[in-house]
Amino acid sequence: MKKIIFITLFTLIAVSLSAQKEARKAVRSGNKAYKDQRYGAAEAEYHKALKDDAASKEASFNLANAYYKQQKWDDALKEYQHYLTLENQNPIKMSAAWSNMGNTFLKKKANEKGQGQQAPVPQGQQPQQPQQQQGDNLKMSMEAYKNALRLNPKDDNTRYNLAVVQKMIQDRQNEDQNKDQNKDQNKDQKQDQNKDQNQDQNQNKDQKQDQKDQKDQNQMSQDNMQQMLQAIEQDEKNTQERVNQAKAQERKQKNENNRKQNKDW
């Protein structure tokens, strides 16, 4: 009986190790395709890796990035969420995922056509696993950046992105306020249409000035958005470099631990 159990366990371990080996092979192939900007091929390889090893953190994170490169925003967000269920120990890697989610929400904002979007909502002081709800992509981008900074306060790129998004949100609030003021002004103007011509002309001048201010503010928001998207392109490269450095540090620490164990043995 014990022999049967041993053989069964040995077989299961062998199968598991074989699957992990195949997963790592697929990840390497995916990474090569990704580097060559063949993002569809990279996506297929990462899917294959996750099929062999559903717990592969690298395959999950890179799959989300491959979705992002193909402008599959919802798929990217979903996979970043999945990655955060796998990675719950390394704050640098978790921060990178949150930062990428912030970038993804901002890309969705730049491409949205007035429809409500899905977004994770952080709860409490510590970053929580993202949940989906109808929300505003710009605000969700802000919350994702905040979560990234809670995990890695030294990430200056994400801090810059957060500041720009907050400015864009403030500009939008000011724009909405101006619209409300113009609406009230038009209503008052209609009620007072029988007043003297000089007063009407003064009101028209004020209204034109308000419209000019609103146009300038809209242009400022568009300029901020363009600057932000350009900054994100550079931030993507920096984020990938940070993740690679964290992986290299993990491998170095693992090798040192193995050497120490062999020495003690």
Query: 103: which residues sit within 8 A by CB, 6+ positions away?
Result: 68, 141, 161, 232, 235, 236
Residue 74, CA atoms < 13 Å, CB-side half-sphere: 7
User: In tens digits, what is the pLDDT along the chain, a chain of 265 residues?
Assistant: 555 554 544 444 444 445 678 999 999 999 999 999 999 999 999 999 999 999 999 999 999 999 999 999 999 999 999 999 999 999 999 999 999 999 999 999 888 754 544 444 443 334 444 433 345 999 999 999 999 999 999 999 999 999 999 999 999 888 878 776 666 566 656 565 655 555 555 555 555 555 555 555 555 556 666 666 666 766 666 666 666 676 677 777 777 776 665 554 4
> How many angstroms separate the CA atoms of 64 and 236, rounded?
12
- Is residue 124 left, alpha or beta, with left meaning phi > 0 and alpha meaning psi from -120 to 50? left
Query: What is the domain class of 1-89 according to CATH?
Result: mainly alpha
208: which 2 tokens?
């034109």
Q: Find how far residue 190's CA is from the centre of its chain.
A: 47
pTM summary value: 0.66
Burial label for 94, CB within 10 Å (0-12, 13-18, 19+), is: buried
Query: What residue spans define the domains of the chain?
Result: 1-89, 91-174+223-256
